[in-house]
């Protein structure tokens, strides 16, 4: 089977903008359905792995691992100057993916990365085409910012991360003129640098990075409320909209718990909306994910003025 932009419009009950459709049409999304037996086997396998405590917890202790991972991308990029080297190595590891609360088997190259790009095409085209200053927190290698550039040629793009190797990549992107208006800066979600102030009317983005901070999100929310960006966009494995009565969703919920992924953040933002301190524009699961994680819920909000 082959997905087209119309399938994504149907999945999300929305109309995509032409600039998003244009990018989506450039990529392949071919897959096969699994039999009920194969799905059941996968569900059992994932539960077994969780029971064996196989998965490493996210959190403060993981900094060195991220540093090392991004350093590998940095060295490869430095050697080849090929931006494809900036795609994190965890993409393409499994051909099993999630779509519409079913497991599927992907048959096209880069399927999981392409599916993330579809979600990005939707949110970048809807919210970021006119932004002047865009900050991606937890940006890793900066590959999302390079894709974002296709939707916004002018904005200053700032990638922030606690790993030094991430900033070295962004510096190299800037220096080698791959992208002149791109910058890197150190930032730790656990202890935000209050001296680093966001430009007025800026946009904030996080993609699969807030996931790493468990329930320690208060410092970052406080930082955002103080800096008052115009818009904050998260594409994260929030577990709030998953259905614990659905056997496939449940494998993801259990996995997210074992990995100590982000918890309580969306509720905090919804509570802030109830006290009129923020306004939520979109809170939707995308029904897209990988073998272990129903990975992407979109949450878009702004501090009230």
Ligand X SMILES: C[S@@+](CC[C@H](N)C(=O)[O-])C[C@H]1O[C@@H](n2cnc3c(N)ncnc32)[C@H](O)[C@@H]1O
- Which residues contact ligand X by CB under 6 A? 66, 88, 138-140, 143-144, 161-163, 166, 187-190, 207-209, 212-213
Nearer Cβ to ligand X (48/197): 197
**Residue 39 beta carbon to ligand X: minimum distance, rounded to whole angstroms:** 26
Instruction: Give strand pairing partners of 105.
Output: 32, 96
Contact 4, 30 (CB under 8 A): no
Element (H, E) at 32: strand 31-33
**Residue 235 beta carbon to ligand X: minimum distance, rounded to whole angstroms:** 8
Q: Report the alpha-carbon distance of residue 208 to residue 148 in Å, rounded.
A: 15
DSSP string, 188-233: -TTS--TT-PPPTT-EEEEESSGGGGTT--HHHHHHHHHH--SEEE
Nearer Cβ to ligand X (131/213): 213
Cα separation values, 172 from 165, 167, 180, 207, 210, Å: 11, 9, 10, 21, 25
Largest CA distance in the chain: 55
**Residue 260 beta carbon to ligand X: minimum distance, rounded to whole angstroms:** 11
Q: Report the alpha-carbon distance of residue 122 to residue 30 in Å, rounded.
A: 19
Nearer Cβ to ligand X (126/236): 236
Q: Which residues of 92-107 are buried (b: 16+ CB within 10 A; e: fewer)?
A: eeeebbbbebebbebe
Nearer Cβ to ligand X (141/230): 141
Structural tokens at position 124: 């970048």
**Residue 44 beta carbon to ligand X: minimum distance, rounded to whole angstroms:** 27
Q: Report the alpha-carbon distance of residue 71 to residue 169 in Å, rounded.
A: 8
Nearer Cβ to ligand X (90/247): 90
**Residue 196 beta carbon to ligand X: minimum distance, rounded to whole angstroms:** 12
**Residue 143 beta carbon to ligand X: minimum distance, rounded to whole angstroms:** 6
**Residue 124 beta carbon to ligand X: minimum distance, rounded to whole angstroms:** 13
Nearer Cβ to ligand X (139/170): 139
Nearer Cβ to ligand X (27/270): 27
**Residue 205 beta carbon to ligand X: minimum distance, rounded to whole angstroms:** 9
Shortest-Cβ-distance residue relative to ligand X: 140
Nearer Cβ to ligand X (151/187): 187
**Whose CA is closest to 256, among 295, 283, 221, 209?**
295
**Residue 176 beta carbon to ligand X: minimum distance, rounded to whole angstroms:** 20
Spatial neighbors of 174 by CB under 8 A, at least 6 apart, are 180, 182, 183, 184
Q: Report the alpha-carbon distance of residue 41 to residue 46 in Å, rounded.
A: 9
Nearer Cβ to ligand X (33/65): 65
**Whose CA is closest to 294, among 1, 52, 11, 87?**
11
């Amino acid at each position: 089977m082959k997905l087209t932009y119309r399938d994504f419009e149907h999945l999300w009950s929305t109309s995509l903008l032409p600039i998003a459709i244009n990018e989506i049409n450039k990529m392949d999304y071919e897959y096969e359905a699994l039999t009920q037996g194969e799905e059941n086997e996968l569900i059992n396998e994932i539960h077994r792995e969780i029971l064996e405590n196989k998965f490493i917890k996210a959190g403060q202790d993981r900094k060195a691992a991220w540093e090392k991972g991004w350093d590998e991308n940095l060295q490869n990029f430095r050697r080849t100057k090929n931006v494809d080297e900036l795609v994190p190595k965890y993409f393409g590891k499994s051909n099993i993916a999630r779509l519409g609360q079913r497991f599927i088997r992907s048959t096209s190259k880069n399927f999981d990365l392409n599916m993330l790009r579809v979600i990005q095409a939707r949110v970048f085209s809807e919210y970021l085409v006119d932004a002047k200053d865009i900050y991606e927190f937890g940006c890793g290698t900066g590959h999302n910012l390079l894709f974002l550039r296709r939707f916004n040629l002018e904005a200053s793009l700032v990638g922030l991360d606690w790993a030094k190797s991430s900033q070295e990549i962004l510096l190299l992107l800037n220096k080698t003129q791959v992208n002149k208006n791109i910058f890197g800066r150190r930032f730790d979600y656990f202890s935000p640098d209050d001296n680093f102030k966001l430009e007025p009317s800026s946009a904030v983005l996080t993609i699969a990075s807030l996931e790493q901070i468990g329930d320690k999100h208060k410092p970052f929310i406080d930082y955002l409320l103080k800096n008052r960006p115009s818009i904050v966009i998260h594409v994260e494995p929030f577990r709030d909209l998953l259905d614990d009565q659905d056997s496939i969703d449940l494998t993801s919920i259990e996995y997210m718990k074992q990995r100590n992924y982000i918890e309580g953040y969306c509720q905090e933002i919804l509570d802030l909306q109830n006290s009129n301190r923020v306004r939520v524009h979109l809170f939707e699961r995308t029904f897209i994910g990988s073998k272990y994680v129903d990975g992407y819920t979109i949450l878009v909000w702004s501090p009230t003025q």
